[in-house]
Amino acid sequence: MPKRPKSPESDHPKVKGGPEESGRKQAGLGRRDFVKLVGGTGVAVTAGVLTKEALLPAESNAQAAAGRRGIGPGPVNITLRVNGEDKDVAVEPRVTLLDVLRDRLHLTGAKKVCDRGTCGACTVIVSGKAIYSCTMLAIDAANSSADILTIEGLAPEGQLHAVSAAFVDNDAQQCGFCTPGFVMACKAYLDAQPNPTYEQVKAALGGNLCRCGTYVGVRKAVLDAAMRMKGGRS
């Protein structure tokens, strides 16, 4: 079988650091360097051309991260502040707050339904804000010293919080599976907006889904709870 003739360039081996390589360096980041940098720093390219200058802060962050000691993949010891008590658990860094609450701390009020941050059944209050617990890593909650409130800690044992009582009186639940998430979302909302209108409540609870369709009862319950929390109704 005849051999392919050598091209004129093959007679002249490339010299490292020669004009061709220098030209590539002057052109900017190479493809391999770009992939390494983006993959290591989580930089998102949304539109347009990403220049070398735009990557400089990310490159600096990557170098800083390389100097820090990583954690995992095995369990690490963390402390979560849940319902006013410190809870020590050993969990892998990938475990969500929802899984720790349900599987390790046996607080099963928050429900695992979509596990995608879309239905709201897992809503808890973290440092005053309603959070989908399926989207938050337990280790992040621990590192931020977050104050976590679940429906189990909403009121003393044997009593109902004003929001929970309003749900009962306004038939705001049917199967009840989504109810804990709704109650926690409503509690967080009323803490921030104690005098809402019906339309404001409707918009505010758009992140929680009820498969039984009890939205009208839920909205009425929120308005009722607002009066109760202000002392307007016992």
Of 153, 173, 207, at which residue does a domain stop?
Answer: 153
Judged on CB neighbours under 10 Å (0-12, 13-18, 19+), 209 is middle
Tell whether 36 is covered by a domain.
no
d(CA 180, CA 173): 10
Task: Say what the pLDDT of residue 205 is.
Answer: 95
Query: How would DSSP label each residue in 193-210?
Result: -SS--HHHHHHHTTT---
Sign of the CA dihedral running 146, 190, 135, 115: positive
Domain boundary at 153, 188, 205, which?
153
Give pLDDT, residue 231.
74
What is the pLDDT, as a whole number, of residue 6?
54
* pLDDT < 50: residue spans in the chain: 8-10, 12-13, 15-16, 21-27, 34-60, 62-68, 234
* 17 inside domain: no
Distance CA 184, CA 131 (A): 9
Whether 109 is covered by a domain: the verdict is yes
Domain boundaries, position 101: 77-153
Write the CATH number for 183. 1.10.150.120
CB of 109 within 8 A of CB of 178? no
As to burial, measured by CB atoms within 10 angstroms (0-12 exposed, 13-18 middle, 19+ buried), residue 207 is: middle
In whole angstroms, what is the distance from residue 234 CA to residue 227 CA? 9
Final residue of a structural domain among 132, 153, 174: 153
Distance CA 69, CA 58 (A): 18
Say which CATH number the domain at 107 has: 3.10.20.30
In whole angstroms, how far apart are CA 2 and each of 5, 7, 57? 9, 15, 54
What is the tally of structural domains in the chain? 2
This prediction has a pTM of 0.69
Pick from 171, 12, 157, 153: nearest CA to 84 = 153
List strands edge to edge, sheet with 147-149: 85-91, 76-82, 147-149, 123-126, 129-132
